[in-house]
Amino acid sequence: MITINGISKTYQVAKRSSGIGQAFKSLFHREYTDVEALNDISFTVKPGEIVGYIGPNGAGKSTTIKVMSGILVPDSGSCTIMGYTPWKDRVAYVRNIGVVFGQRSQLWWDVPVIDSFELLRDIYKVPEQEYKANLALLTETLELQDIIGMPVRQLSLGQRMRCEIAASLLHSPSILFLDEPTIGLDAASKIAVRRFIRTINEEKGVTVILTTHDMNDIEALAQRIILIGKGKLLYDGSIDAIRNQFGTRKTIIALYRQQEAPLKIAGAVLESWSPERAVLSVDTEQVLISEVLISISQQVELIDIIIDTPPIEDMIIQLYKEHQI
């Protein structure tokens, strides 16, 4: 579906130095530095996949999305999506994709949402029957009935985002690019958006590429993540693989009958301790959980025990650290 091979992209950024003299000088002569936004990125995406595209700010996520949606032409490398080269056959290609930029609206601000939808129908030349069917499905699954007649400026961010996503699916695209679709949304809206993305992926087989900083999005949606940092592809694989690699450190919280002597467990680090409660961290590659548990129960009279896996967020941070980004 998507084959990206060795894409590189360099931006020229004007050097700015401080001071009025320098500013004046830059009026006539500017020095540029090259910033490598993308450096030899390659990956493939199969039809029907949901891929989470992650990386810290400025890593090159948006640039990749722009290349894949045909906005930008890369300096080198090839990209074939559904048989098209996005930047060559722009008009023919973009008919097949939907793009949501989380921070920018594609709706007309002052008119009811439905008017925007109808204009999009005309822009994409969607046949009337198909439009009606899509609209009915989107209205129902995204619960737009009550807001479709309201002007966009009166909608809350969550309502607006639901409309944005609907707007990008009216022409039944095969691929949906979502650039930070949950940014700034409250918990309920986030969950609604995630559920919907899952639905269209499962029911209509839409391939989804999504960038986000919210790891819960990734956890809820993506079977696969691609990590990019400083323009380089750092990781491409399943979330489970990351879990296995970085999720080996468990936190054990033990509650017990009052006891003055601190716990001493071989292979575990005592993070905090009080006469009733101890927090230990254990690397399951070094020592078996069962041994730790036996050891604890020998030393104290246990009331309760909690074994916690670190959130995916922490694992990603470790991944960033490992690659020094």
Partner 1 sequence: MRLYWKYIVILFKSQMQYRTSFWLLTLGQFLVPFSVFAGLYFLFERFGQIQGWNFQEVALCFSIIHMAFAISECFARGFDSFSGMVVNGEFDRVLVRPRSTVLQVLGSKFEFTRVGRLAQSTLVLIWAISQLPIEWTMLKAITLFFMVISGFFIFAGIFMLAAAMCFWTIQGLEVANIFTDGGKEMAQYPLNIYQKWVTRFFTFIIPFGCVNYLPLLYILDKTTGNDLPYILAPAAGIVFIAPCMLVWRVGVRHYRSTGS
Binding-residue total with partner 1 (CB under 8 A): 34
**Looking at beta carbons only, is 73 or 289 nearer to partner 1?**
73
Report how far residue 201's alpha carbon sits from residue 45's, in angstroms, rounded to the nearest whole number: 14
C-beta atoms surrounding 44 within 10 Å: 12
Is residue 104 at the binding interface for partner 1, with CB under 8 A as the rule?
A: yes
Distant-in-sequence, close-in-space partners of 58: CB < 8 Å, separation ≥ 6: none
The nearer residue to partner 1, 9 or 230, going by C-beta atoms, is: 9
- Tell me the C-alpha distance between 206 and 212, whole Å: 18
Per-residue x/- track, 59-78, partner 1 (CB under 8 A): ----x--x--xxxxx-----
3-state secondary structure of 25: helix
Alpha-carbon Rg for the chain in angstroms: 25
Binding residue for partner 1, selected from 3, 17, 76, 110, defined by CB under 8 A: 110
Contact call for residue 130 and partner 1 (CB under 8 A): no
Q: By CB under 8 A, is residue 108 in contact with partner 1? A: yes
Shortest distance, position 146 Cβ to partner 1, whole Å: 20
Using the minimum distance from each CB to partner 1, give the nearer residue, 113 or 221.
113
114 belongs to the binding site for partner 1 (CB under 8 A):
no
Q: How far is the CB of 69 from partner 1 (least distance, A)?
A: 5
Q: Say how far residue 53 (Cα) sits from the centre of its chain.
A: 5
Q: Which of 2, 7, 97, 163 binds partner 1 (CB under 8 A)?
A: 97
CA-to-CA distance for 38 and 319, rounded, in angstroms?
Answer: 19
Residues 201-260 that bind partner 1 (CB under 8 A): none
Select the residue interacting with partner 1 from 122, 260, 301, 304 (CB under 8 A): 122
Task: Say how far apart CA 226 and CA 319 lie, in whole Å.
Answer: 12
Beta bridge partners of 235: 227
Q: CA-to-CA distance for 126 and 200, rounded, in angstroms?
A: 18
Using rule CB under 8 A, residue 109 touches partner 1: yes
Applying CB under 8 A, among 5, 8, 26, 106 the residue interacting with partner 1 is 106
Q: Which of residues 1-20 bind partner 1 (CB under 8 A)?
A: 9, 11-12
Residues 167-186 that bind partner 1 (CB under 8 A): none
User: Looking only at Cα atoms, what is the longest distance across the chain?
Assistant: 78
Backbone CA torsion sign across 67, 71, 75, 79 = positive
